[in-house]
Amino acid sequence: MSYEGLVRPDTIGRLVLRDFSPSALGRRLLRGGVFVAVAWDEIAGFADGDVGAEAIHVRAIATEPSMRRRGVGTALLTAVRGMAPDIPVAADVLLGNLEGERFYETNGFVPGEVQHGSLFGEDVVERRWWREAMAEILPVLRASSDG
């Protein structure tokens, strides 16, 4: 898990119970914005996005460790971005989560503001990563393919 070594083990346990219990997963699925990648009849990863007024927020993204660096996360991120291509995308990453930071940077995100908060009473610091709207880059891609 991306939080291992960054927050206390009991905080991770409480987070998993809150966000990934059957009832929490049911609510997420009913809300929409959950994407699941399947490879060889097995779940390879999932992403959860939420469209806000000014940005899509990546709530969670994860891949099976054996499926990392094979494009699964990037495909899931593209699906989330496609929910509302006219607005930018934001993702909050715990400071120190180098794998998460590398993933977003590789996918064209830039580091933004630092946010201080609390996760089950434990102080945490996150950096918000930003990616421009898909609609903003489509004309550039079309122009470069025309030339």
CATH number at residue 138: 3.40.630.30
- Edge-first strand order for the sheet with 110-119 is 34-39, 42-51, 56-63, 89-94, 122-131, 110-119
2 within a domain of the structure (yes/no)? no
pLDDT (tens digit, 9 = 90+) per residue, 77-95? 999 999 999 999 999 999 9
**Is 145 a residue whose pLDDT tops 70?**
no
How far apart are alpha carbons 101 and 123 in whole angstroms?
19
Q: Contact, 129 vs 109, CB < 8 A?
A: yes
Helix %, strand %, coil % of the chain (to 5): 40, 35, 25
pLDDT (tens digit, 9 = 90+) per residue, 38-69? 999 999 999 999 999 999 999 999 999 888 88
Closest listed residue to residue 125, CA positions, set 116, 137, 133, 134:
116
pLDDT (tens digit, 9 = 90+) per residue, 102-112? 999 999 999 99
| Number of helical (H) and strand (E) elements in the chain, helices listed first | 5, 6
60 within a domain of the structure (yes/no)? yes
Number of structural domains found in the chain: 1
**Is 140 a residue whose pLDDT tops 80?**
no
Question: Which pTM does this prediction carry?
Answer: 0.84
Write down the pLDDT at residue 54. 92
Higher pLDDT: 113 or 135? It is: 113
131 within a domain of the structure (yes/no)? yes
92 within a domain of the structure (yes/no)? yes
1 within a domain of the structure (yes/no)? no
**Residue 126 region, left (φ>0) first, then alpha (ψ -120 to 50), else beta?**
beta
Higher pLDDT: 142 or 27? It is: 27
Q: Which domain holds residue 31?
A: 9-146
pLDDT (tens digit, 9 = 90+) per residue, 1-46? 578 889 999 999 999 899 888 898 888 888 888 999 999 999 999 9
3 within a domain of the structure (yes/no)? no
Write down the pLDDT at residue 144. 53
